[in-house]
Amino acid sequence: MLPGTETLRALVAAFVALGGALAWLAARAGAVPGGTPERLIAEFRVVRLASLLLAVTAGTSMGLAAAYEGVPSGALDVTFAAGFVALAAVALTRDPRQALMLLAGGFAAHALIAIAHRPGWLSPDVGPRWFFIASAVYDVLVGAICYFPLLRR
């Protein structure tokens, strides 16, 4: 059995499942020949799931800020998270190439914000220390998955 609470295990399982589904969709999109309607549809599928995943990731940051509400700069974390939700919404209105670049950049920015908690640029007390490292690694991987279909055009 994995260490941690049942809630933590469920959260990890959900993020792994969503990341795996995104990787599968991105690989399928990359396999479709470029310039075809099927490719456009496949890329839109990647955009939809990646947008949802960015919003859920931002929601996790909001949840941590709410759970540790007495920590200074918690409002800043919530503000950043709201910006990522807005970015996810905007990505849904763009063509797939722009949307995938926006989402890859959004995940990279989320990783940088997670890393900023470690040296104390943002409050390190807004969540467990391991969370920021795991979040940054996950964000970089998901951002790379978002960019993958663009390499295969």
Residue range 11-54, pLDDT digits in tens: 899 999 999 999 999 999 999 998 899 999 999 999 999 999 99
Contact 81, 113 (CB under 8 A): no
Looking at the predicted structure, is the pLDDT value of residue 1 above 80? no
Higher pLDDT, 39 or 123: 39
Q: Is the pLDDT of residue 3 over 70?
A: no
- Say what the pLDDT of residue 81 is: 96
Mean pLDDT of 63-87: 89
CA distances from 86 to 54, 92, 93, 101 (A): 10, 10, 11, 15
Higher pLDDT, 70 or 143: 143
pTM of the model: 0.92
